[in-house]
Amino acid sequence: QEMAYWSLKAAIEIGNGAADAASSLYLFGENLPRGADTCYADCHTELIKATDSWMEASEMLYPDYDSMIPDYDTVITNVRRSLAVAKKNHLAWNCERCRKGESKKTVDAISEGNDLEKIVAILSAFVDA
C-alpha cells in the first residue's frame, strides 16, 4: 500500500502541475496551444475539481507522512470516482464543447499526449490493477 500511495502521489503532482501550468498561462494572457485557450476557459472548473479530488484522496490515505489510514479500499473507491468525473469532464481537451462533428476526432497536440490525458490513463490502469 505504501508503494501504491507514492505512485498515486506522483500522479497527483503531475496532474496538479499540468493544471497549474495551464492556469498560469491562461491568467497571464500567454498563448496556449491553438484551441486550448477556449477549451481551458470552458473546462477550467472541472479540471481543478478533478485534480483537487486526487489530492484529497491522497491526503485521506496518508494525512501525514508518519501515519496511515488502513481503509485503502475507500481511498481507491474515491479515486475511481474522481477518474469517472475527470473522464466525463473531458480532461483530455477533446470534447464537443469546442469541436463539432468530425473536427472533434482530429488528433492534435491538445487532444493527444498532454499531461492530463496521461494522468487519467495512468491512474485508470493503477486503480484497476
Confidence of residue 93 (pLDDT cuts 50, 70, 90): very low
pLDDT score recorded for residue 26: 46
Residues 6+ away with beta carbon under 8 Å from 82: 50, 53, 54, 57
Which value, to the nearest 10 degrees, does the dihedral of the CA atoms of residues 54, 55, 59, 62 take?
A: 70
pLDDT score recorded for residue 129: 46
Report the predicted TM-score, pTM, of the whole model to 2 decimal places. Answer: 0.33
Distance CA 114, CA 119 (A): 9
Rounded to 10 deg, the angle between the 36-61 and 2-27 helix axes is 150
Confidence of residue 29 (pLDDT cuts 50, 70, 90): very low
The CATH code that applies to domain 2-127 is 1.20.140
Instruction: Sketch the domain layout of the chain as residue ranges.
Output: 2-127
Give the largest CA-CA distance in the chain.
Answer: 51
